[in-house]
Structure 1
Amino acid sequence: MKNLWILIITITILGCNKSTKEENESIDPKDNTPEAIPVEPDGGIGDGALSIMDNYILQIEKAHQKTAFLKHKAVSFNIDIYFGGKQRLDGKITMLTNATKIRIDKKDDSKLIYTNEKVYLCPKEANDKGARFDMFTWTYFFGFPYKLDDPGTQWELQNVKTLNEVEHQTAKLTFEKGIGDSSEDWYIIYSDSNDHTLKAAAYIVTFGNQDDTSKAEGDPHIIQYKEFKIIDGIPFATKWEFYGWSEEKGSTDKIGEATLTDITFLEDEGTIFETPENAKEIML
């Protein structure tokens, strides 16, 4: 009986060793190697992940609460702008948050109204000099954090640059042909490395220069966004400062500034954007 139990145990051990050996031999050695994480050609990591550039834009949009901003119908604010020591604009701007309608009420009682198709000046005899610039420049600067992924925008992540002795991540914005006043315009944006808010944007303006890029690039400027205030949970810069700018030096001489006050959201546009009496359509 004792010899029988020894034989049974021996057979069992041999059988287990053989089974283990077969299992080990059936495993491909490659299976023990950690699976490589796929990297997308555009810099994203993982299947369906955002590219580094898209994630950079998304961080800025989140910092400026883009979703919350666009939930509001319209926004208005008072703006007082000086360039070269002279007042450029003093008035109230009202715009849909998607920027398809704009109204500017100036302190001289003249008005500019944009309805996504036409622009009107009221009264008819008011001076329309600089109307295009006033209508679209200031509203673009105000709504910049919400327009970073507009159709036709093209982005390139750039190096970290110093602004006011603080390092900021930068990226260059250009446009596809046929987009905006001129597809030759460009912006270099500076975002805060910690909270991702948009702190500045260097830019050129080729409109009015017969799209002469070389002339425009000879005189680039930069807008710096300062004195942020939270309105309904959304950060807004209430002080804009304008400087000359160069790739080598960054900001140079100060050339202008703007102050924004009474930033207010509207949930019903009412008759704000209707064409007033004694208005004329103007060509921009």
Structure 2
Amino acid sequence: MKKIALTLTAVILTLVGCKPNEENLKFTDKVEKAHHKQEFLAKEAVQFDLKLAFGGTERMDAKFTILTNSTKGIIEYKNGAKIIFDQDKVFYAATIPNEESVRFDAFTWEYFFLFPYKLMDPGTIWNSYDNIEKDQQNYLTEKLTFKSGTGDAPDDWYVVYADKKTNLLEKSAYIVTLKAGKKDAEKNPHAIQYLDYKEVDGIPIATKWVFWGWKEGKGLTEELGQATLTNIKFIKADAADFEPATDFKKK
């Protein structure tokens, strides 16, 4: 009897001891753990089909192949045209649907997909955020900014919401300064909502994105667009696939 009591006491102390450790984890640690970051990075590459529409008009229908370390990626359109990015270099076929937005397309959509695994990338700065929205009790919320010189758009910022029960990302407000200055971008912030999580090799991945307008203190406003992700799978990468054809343009 004494032995059983000691065993139960040890179990209780272990459980009690674990709880503060979990609670004391940083916001980014909680989210990365929930998204199985280490398991994700142990894979070589991920592939998925993305259908994206804004205002009822199709914006993109393409297959993405991305190295999980985010250094290289391929976007292949239905007509066979490709965008290939390698670090900060972008190569593309002349037949892609929208040449003007090639860098935006190369880096924006893959960043949204990889976002849960890039929270602690070099140049990221995290600060507390005073969430006063009516449903604020449901979320862990912090604000992400970037050091000068980080990426194509270091003036971008994100207000990131994680579900308080699961620690999975649910939404992220953001501004896009690549095509506009920070002052103009802050007049029209948007948000992406991550929905319909499904496990792929044990790793939770959102299979639906909804894009919204966003207002500080109020949160999501009007719906702007949606994206669906299908045929998500982890694959072995072939280095030759990331080599641009000789007639590709560079931007």
TM-score interval, normalised by the smaller of the two chains = 0.7 to 0.9
> What's the RMSD between the two structures over aligned residues?
2.3
Structure 1 residue aligned with 2:198, among 213, 219, 229? 229
The one-letter amino acid of 1:221's match is H
1:242 aligns with 2:211: yes
Q: Read off the aligned partner of 1:155 and give its amino acid letter.
A: W
Q: Is the 8 A contact 1:172 1:189 kept in 2?
A: yes
Describe the shift of the 1:51–1:234 C-alpha distance in structure 2 as closer, same or farther (beyond 3 A): closer
Aligned to 2:178: 207
Cα separation, 1, equivalents of 2:128 and 2:22 = 14
Matching residue of 2:54: 83
Match of 1:258 among 227, 237, 246: 227
1:114 deviates by 0.8
1:113-138 deviations in Å (ceiling 9; x for gaps): 11225321124687512111111000
Q: Could you tell me the percent identity over the aligned residues?
A: 43
Q: What is the TM-score when the length of structure 2 is the normalising length? A: 0.86
**Alpha-carbon shift at residue 269 of structure 1 (Å):** 2.7
Which region of structure 1 is more displaced relative to structure 2, 269-278 or 188-197? 269-278
- 2:159 aligned partner: 188
Query: What does residue 280 of structure 1 align with?
Result: 249
Find out whether 1:113 has 2:99 as its counterpart. no
Post-superposition Cα deviations, 1:152-182, rounded to whole Å, max 9, x if no partner, equal 1101122345587872111000001111222
- The structure that has the greater radius of gyration is 1
Tell me the matched-pair count. 232
Contact 2:141 2:159 in 1 (8 A): yes
Other-structure match for 1:25 = none
TM-aligned CA deviation for residue 98 of structure 1: 0.8
Residues 56 and 110 (structure 1), Cα distance of their counterparts in 2 relative to 1, 3 Å cut: same
Structure 1 residues 71, 206: closer, same or farther in 2, change over 3 A?
same
Matches within 5 A, 1:45-124: 55-123=26-94
Q: Distance in 2 between matches of 1:124 and 1:227?
A: 33
Q: Over residues 40-73 of structure 1, what are the superposed CA-to-partner deviations in whole Å (9 max), with x where a residue is unaligned?
A: xxxxxxxxx9996x62111100000000000011
Of residues 178, 203, 208 in structure 1, which corresponds to 2:149? 178
Aligned with 2:188 (options 210, 219, 228) = 219
